[in-house]
A and B are shown apart, each in its own frame.
Chain A
Amino acid sequence: MSSAVADVETGAALSVARRAEAFWNTGLLAGLAWLATALVTYVLPDVVPWGSTMLFAVLCAAVALALLALVPGIRLLPQRIAAKLRHYGPWLLALGLWLLFWEFTTAKTGWLPKPFFSPPQGLIQVYVADGQRLLICIAYTARLWLLGFFSGIAVGYVIGLALGWSRSFAYWGMPLLKLIGPVPASAWIPVTFYFFPSTFQASIFIVALSCGIPVAILTASGVGAINKAYYEVARTMGAGTSYLIRHIAIPASLPHVFVGLFMGLYYSFAVLVVAEMLGAKYGLGWYIQFQTAYSAYANVYATLVIMALICAGLVKALFTVRGRLLRWQQGFIA
């Protein structure tokens, strides 16, 4: 274990160094952890039947074998992939240990009982048994989220620019925005029902609102925080309002805008359950509610895992876009 810790600390340096260690010691520990999980899952009986127990054991064994094969085999991988693997080695080990603990305390001993807890194979069973419906739910939620998020940030951004740019707009708009901001999404349901012809549009509005507000507030503060000297430099060179907005206000406020976008991304996911309360027939949020009502918590957890993974992917994509657009900032390496 202590050598694994040492690996973690020096891992980054080693992966760059030409004389990288021949064997991947962390990989060995990780492989053993996954193998232990596979054995415990296979050998010990489940307290209650869950289904997919064998499938989980096989999956764990497959990961374990892959890791163990890589202990000597990591040398054969391309440099970049090998470095990535070494970097995430400690995480692979932690994941294996976590699965072992999870499996043992739920399926094998029942210390954490049904229906409040589910073992890993419980979640897998959900994907196996209900996969089709979950895929449809993902598609429905994607449609709602894409429409809501992009219309929300577009409108929020324009409002934020106006608030940051125009004094009179800020005078009337800022207090309103501060009043509206903290209102919980569910409180909008009666109003949106009245104003929007369809429940789908009402749902879009709720998602849009959740991400539009942080984007508007952060954009406004970003524009407000711009060093006035930049405007003066441009004005002495003959710049008009359109240049000041397009070439100064917009790029200079971008770092703030991205903070707003990250907040908006998280809020828009958090609000999906509420948005899909409005008479949706499919959708991840709707699925979570539906299964909660039946105390099918394994299905709820399985859906939450899907949502978390999608959200993490979107966060990563947003980071990439930010890296592109903000490479002018100090500390960004292009």
Chain B
Amino acid sequence: MTAGAHTETGRGVAVDVQSVSHAYSIEGAPLPVLDNISLRVEPGEFVSCLGPSGCGKSTLLRLLAGLETPSRGSLLSGSARITGPHPSRILAFQDATLFPWATVWQNVAAGPTARNELRGSRQRIDEAIAQVGLSGFERAYPHQLSGGMAQRAALARALVNDPSVLLLDEPFGKLDSFTRMALQDDLRALWEEKRFTGILVTHDVEEAILLSERVLVFSDRPARLLREFRIDLGNDRERTSRKVVKLRGEILSALNLGHRGKKREAA
């Protein structure tokens, strides 16, 4: 894929989260969601975030996307402070929020269209659609797609912008396990090709292990960073390998501590 027309894209950049706390206000009462979080993601690194439901993972991604400003602390992309949305940082939302009134092609073209770059991007759009295996469905509307195809389309819509930071919020959460496994492999391959900086939120421990080089475990709300696991698997990313199974056990028990003993189906 050719480089994006806009600057600051392509190869991944570092992401820094510096002492970030965030609180929403619900009917006047503050609801603390993130508690003094500091972390750094290296350029081109892929990191997964695990944590109990409602702990604030999506909130962290929204802060990184620039859709929200933190109550305290600061976030950096490269050396620049994040103050608002920028096409170099693309967030793929928890629900595949494809525009139902637009065809697959028009959905994928949304970014270039929005930036008035459609003219030079047609080929890039076709390529992105081909990359996620949706060739032939360019003219389909979202309601004509299966759940997995919709997620693929959403992925293509993100990738076509050639982001240097890709923020993924449970992209495969609602899929059956076979589709999910296939898409996980695809995502891994795409990342290996492009080396964007990836931050993935998921509830699937196996997915986190297989896709990332580092797994971050967060506590219950307000989320603190509890532990991080380095995944040194190299290219040996077999679901059934002994290393993966062992890591899975360790991460699950860390998660369970984070749940303060609450039982939870995490895998």
Contacts and interface: CB of A to CB of B under 8 A. Distances in A.
Interface of A: 227, 229-230, 232-240, 243, 247-248, 251-252, 254, 327-330
B115 A232 contact: no
Given A238-B114, A243-B113, A230 B90 contact: no
Interface stretch (B81-89, B121-129, B215-223, B246-254): B81-89
B188 interface: no
B101 interface: yes
Nearest to B142: A328
Contacts of B143: 328-330
Given A243-B113, A251-B102, A328-B143, A238 B97 contact: no
B85 A236 contact: yes
A230 B87 contact: no
A328 B102 contact: yes
A248 B99 contact: yes
A252 B86 CA distance: 24
B101 A243 contact: no
A227 B94 CA distance: 14
A235 B97 contact: no
Contact of A240 (B91, B97, B114): B114
Given A229-B97, A247-B99, 17 more contacts: A227-B97, A232-B67, A232-B85, A233-B99, A236-B67, A237-B110, A237-B161, A238-B85, A238-B86, A238-B115, A239-B110, A239-B114, A239-B115, A243-B114, A247-B110, A328-B102, A330-B143
A50 B102 CA distance: 59
Given A236-B89, A237-B110, A328-B141, A252 B67 contact: no
Contacts of A240: 114
B191 to A, nearest CB: 19
Nearest to B103: A328
Nearest to B98: A233
A260 to B, nearest CB: 17
B95 A237 contact: no
A227 B97 CA distance: 9
Interface of A is mostly: helix
B124 to A, nearest CB: 14
Interface of B: 6, 65-67, 85-87, 89-91, 93, 95, 97, 99-103, 110-111, 113-115, 141-143, 157, 161
Given A237-B110, A237-B161, A329-B143, A251 B101 contact: yes
7 contacts: A227-B97, A233-B110, A243-B114, A247-B113, A247-B114, A254-B101, A329-B100
Q: Can you list the 8 inter-chain pairs with the closest CB atoms, starting with the nearest?
A: A239-B114, A237-B111, A238-B87, A251-B101, A330-B143, A243-B114, A328-B141, A236-B85
A68 to B, nearest CB: 46
B111 A232 contact: no
Nearest to A235: B85
A166 B266 CA distance: 43
Contacts of B100: 328-330
A236 B115 contact: no
